[in-house]
Amino acid sequence: MARINRRSLLKGTAGAATLGAASATFSSPALISAQGSDIELILWTNFGSGVNGEAQAKLIEDYNAQSNGVTITSSLYADYEETANAILTGLPSGDVPHLAVLSDVWWFTFYLRGAIHDLTGLVDTPEDYVESLYIEYERNGGQYAVPFARSTPLFYFNREALEAAGLDESIFATWSDFRDNAQALIDTGTVPASFGFGSAASYGAWTMHGPVWAFGGNYSDPEFNILIDEGGAVEAGEFMRSLVQEHSAIAVSDPNTEFNTGGLAAMIASTGSLGTIREGAQMEFGVAKLPEELQFGCPTGGAGLAVISSATEEELQAAMDYITFVTNTENAAYWSQTTGYMPVRTSAVESESYQAFLQENPENQVAIEQLPLTQPQDSARVFIPNGDQIIGRGWEEVLVNNRPAAEVFAEVAAQLDEEKQPVLDALAEVEG
C-alpha cells in the first residue's frame, strides 16, 4: 500500500511556473495576458458568514480589485460536507466550480476520482509554506491542493471559572489532572458543565483524535489497518465516558455556542474558531495545548484550495494566481490574525505584523507553539469516505448513549473495515 509521500520538498525545481510573487501586487497571468481575454473563476466555499466569511470576502474583493484579467465569484455552502457533496453531484454533468475549498477529509475522495488537478510545478515558492501543512496534500508524487484554512484543535477554557475555583492552567496538563479538578470548576457555580463534547456533525471525531493518541491509541494506521477497537483508543473512550457520567461533562450539538454563552468550563475546538470566539465570548477565556496522558497527541485539520480537473489550462493558471494571492505572506498573516486559522507560510509567521499580533494575542501563540508537535491524521478518518462521520457517530454512542467504548468501537471498526475496501481497490487502480 502506498503511503503519503512525506519527503522533503524540492526547492527551486527547474521548469516550475512562477505565477506571481509573494507580495500584494500581481500582474495578469501570462497565458491570459497573451490571449488578451478576461476570465471569471467560480469558487465554491463554506466560508459565507461571520468573522471567517467576512475575511474571505475581503480577500476576494482585494483580488478582484487588481483588475488583472481574472475575476473570482464565490458560491457559498453551509459546511465542508455540503461543498464537497455539491461537487460530487455536479461531476457527471460538469456543473462544478473551477476552485473549491476542500477539507482534510474530502480532498482524497476527489484525488481518487481524478477530479482535481495535480499542482506540481505550479505552486509559487512551495518551500515557504509550512511543511507539515503543505505535504498533507501530497500523494503518489503529486500535489493536489494548497493549504489555506488550516487548523489544529485547541483546548479552550473559561478563565473566570478557573479563577473562581482558585486553580491555574496546570490542571490542563493531563486529562487525569483535568478530571480530578472538574468538580471544583462546577462547585463555583460559574459554569454548569465541566467539558463539552461535540457531535459527529460538529467534527467530534476530529476533536477526539488527539485524546486517542494521548492515551496511546489510534483510529488506524497508514496501511488502513483499523485500530479504534484496540488498547488506547478504547481506554480514551472509557475515560471520556466517565467524564460525562461522573464528572459533569456533557455532549452538545454545538460546543462553540455553549462555550461562548458560559455553559462550559472547557472544550476542544479548532484554532479556526479563535476569531469567532474572541468576538462572541461572553466571558474571559483562554486556550492551552491539548492535555497529555501517556503522551501528547494533536492532529492537523482544516482545508486547502484545490482546482477541479475540468478547468482549462487558462483557468488553471488563473486559479493558481488566485491561490498564490490569498496565501501570500501578507494575506496569510491577515487571514490567520482575523480568523484564528494557522498562518500557512513561514514568512507570514515571521513577519513583523504577525509577531506584533502574537504579542497582543497569546491565544494564537499557543496554536503556533503546538503546531510542530502535531502529526497527520489517521487514514481511517481522512481517507475512507464518511470515515469521519462513522467514527463521530461512534463517539456519540459512547458519550450520549453511555455505551461501553469497547462494544461501540468494535462496531465502528467493522464498519470502517467494510468501507475501506473500495478505497483500497481505487488506490490499486490509480497508483498500482
For the chain, domains (ranges, CATH) are 30-150+301-373 (3.40.190.10), 153-300+377-420 (3.40.190.10)
- Cα 165 from Cα 336, distance rounded (Å): 33
Neighbour tally for 67: CB within 10 Å: 9
Looking at residue 210, its pLDDT comes to 98
pLDDT for position 18: 27
Burial class (CB in 10 A: 0-12, 13-18, 19+), 283: middle
Residue 404 CB neighbour total at 10 angstroms = 14
Instruction: Specify the amino acid at residue 403.
Output: R
Residue 49 grid coordinates:
458568514
Residue of 376, 397, 389, 374 lying closest to 419 (CA atoms) = 389
Q: Report pLDDT for 49.
A: 86
Predicted local confidence at residue 32, as pLDDT: 59
* C-alpha–C-alpha distance, residues 193 and 37, integer Å: 59
pLDDT of residue 432: 83
Spatial separation of the C-alpha atoms in residues 344 and 96, rounded to whole Å: 26
Cell of 35: 490571449
Q: What is the pLDDT tens value at each position of the chain, 432 positions in all?
A: 222 222 222 222 222 222 233 333 344 566 655 554 589 999 999 998 899 999 999 999 999 999 999 999 999 999 999 999 999 999 999 999 999 999 999 999 999 999 999 999 999 999 999 999 999 999 999 999 999 999 999 999 999 999 999 999 999 999 999 999 999 999 999 999 999 999 999 999 999 999 999 999 999 999 999 999 999 999 999 999 999 999 999 999 999 999 999 999 999 999 999 999 999 999 999 999 999 999 999 999 999 999 999 999 999 999 999 999 999 999 999 999 999 999 999 999 999 999 999 999 999 999 999 999 999 999 999 999 899 999 999 999 999 999 999 999 999 999 999 999 999 999 999 998
Tell me, yes or no, if the pTM score tops 0.85: yes
